[in-house]
Amino acid sequence: MALLIALSALGVLPFNMFVPSMPSIARELETDFATINMAVAGYAVATAFTHLIAGALSDRFGRRPVLLAALVIFVIGSIGCSFAGNIYIFLGFRLLQGSAVAGFAMSLAVIRDTAGERMVSQIGYVSSAYAIAPMVGPTVGGLLASWLGWRANFAAFAILGACAIALVLRYLPETNRRRSTSMMQPYLGYGQLLISARFWAYACCMAFTIGTLYVFISGAPAVAVQTTQISTTMVGIYLGLVPAGFMIGSFAAARYGVRLTPLQLIVFGRLLTCAGLLIGGALAALQINHPLAFFGPCVCIGLGNGLTMPAANSRVLSVYAGLSGTALGLASAITTAGAGAIAFFAGLFIEVSNARAYVVAAMLTTSLLSLAAAALIVRLESARSSAP
C-alpha cells in the first residue's frame, strides 16, 4: 500500500509542482505566458490518453509491465524537459510526462486485483495521496526553483521516476491473473462499456462530480477578486479548504469503506455536496458577503468528492470482470474530458461582476446532475440485483 500510495502521488505531482516556475521558464525559453500555459493543459490531455491506453494494455499484458513502461517514458520526458533549449522541445517532452498518471491508474487496478472487500477502503487511502500531492507540490516546486532554478523541478521528477522504477521492480508483483488472450479483447471491451447503462451512470456521476470541483478551481479566484478585502495569503488558505476537504473525505471513505457499501458512499457524498452548495446559494441570496459565506460551504465539495470518487472508482473497476483496467481508463478519460468541458462552458459566463452568483449556480447545477446520476446508479444496481 505504501508503494501504491507513492505511485499515485507521483501520477499527479507533475501537474502543478512546476507552476511557480512558469514565469521563469517563459523568460528563459523566450515565449509568452499563454504558450507556456500549454504545459498545464497539454499534461491534462496526455493523462486522458494515458488512461485510455494504459488501462487496455494492462488487461492484456499485466499491470507491472505497463506501469514500468509508463515510468520509463516519464523519466525520459522529465530529463528532456530539464535540458530543453526552446519551448517546442520543452512542450514535446512535457507531453511524455503525462504517462506518470499510469501510477494512479495501475494502483487502482492492482487494488481491484487483490483487495477483495477492502477495495473501497484501500482506494480511499490512494485517493488521499492523490489529493495531498497537488496541495504540497507547488510549495516544494517553488522552493526548488528558488534554490536551484526551474530545471531542478524536472530533474527531481526524473529522480523520483527512477526511484519508482526500482521500487516497482523490487516490491510489486504482477497481480493480473486473468489477462485477455489478445489485444483486440480489451479494445473490443470499449464497445461493451460504451453501450452499458451502468458504466455510463458511473462515468457521468464522476464527470459531474469532478466538474463541480473544476468550476470551483476556475471560478473561485474571480470570486476572491469580487471580495476585495481578501489578502493574497487568505485567498491561498481559502482555496486550500476544498482539497483539504477531499483529503478528509477520502480518509473517511477509507475508514468506513468496509462498513458502508459503495452506493451508500456515492449517494451520501453527492447529498453532502448539494447540501453545502444550497447553503452557499442561500447565503448569496441573502447578500452575506463575508468570504467564508462562499468558501465555507464549498468545503462540502471536497468532502463529498472524497467520499464519492473512491467508491465510484471501485464500482467502475467491477463493471466487467477481466476488463477492469479498460473500464477504469475509459471512465477516467470521460471524467477528465467531461469535467474540463464543464469548466470551459461555465467560464464563458463568469465575470468578476457576477462571479459569486454564477459560480455557485454552476456548481449547484453540476452537483445536482451528479446526484441524479447517483440515483440512476442505485436504480440500475437494484434492478440488476433483483433480476433472476
Can you say whether residue 189 is alpha, beta or left, with left for phi > 0 and alpha for psi between -120 and 50 degrees?
alpha
Question: Nearest 5°: CA angle at 255, between 249 and 257?
Answer: 90
Decide whether 2-179 matches 188-386 in CATH topology. yes
> Please, which pLDDT band fits residue 164 given cuts at 50, 70 and 90?
very high
User: Domain 2-179 maps to which CATH number in 3.40.50.12780, 3.40.190.290, 1.20.1250.20, 3.40.50.2000?
Assistant: 1.20.1250.20
Nearest to 262 by CA among 320, 206, 333, 325: 206
For 255-264, write each residue's pLDDT tens digit: 877 788 889 9
**What cell numbers appear for 287 in the block?**
447578500
Q: What is the pLDDT of residues 39-90, one digit of tens each?
A: 766 777 788 888 888 888 888 888 899 999 999 999 999 999 999 989 899 9
**Rg of the chain in Å (alpha carbons):** 21
Share of the chain above pLDDT 90, in %: 29
- List the chain domain ranges: 2-179, 188-386
CB-neighbour burial class of residue 258 (10 A; exposed 0-12, middle 13-18, buried 19+): exposed
Residue 191 has a CB neighbour count (10 Å cut-off) of 9
| Rounded alpha-carbon distances, angstroms, from residue 2 to 17, 54, 96, 125 | 21, 22, 25, 10
CATH 1.20.1250.20 fits 188-386, yes or no: yes
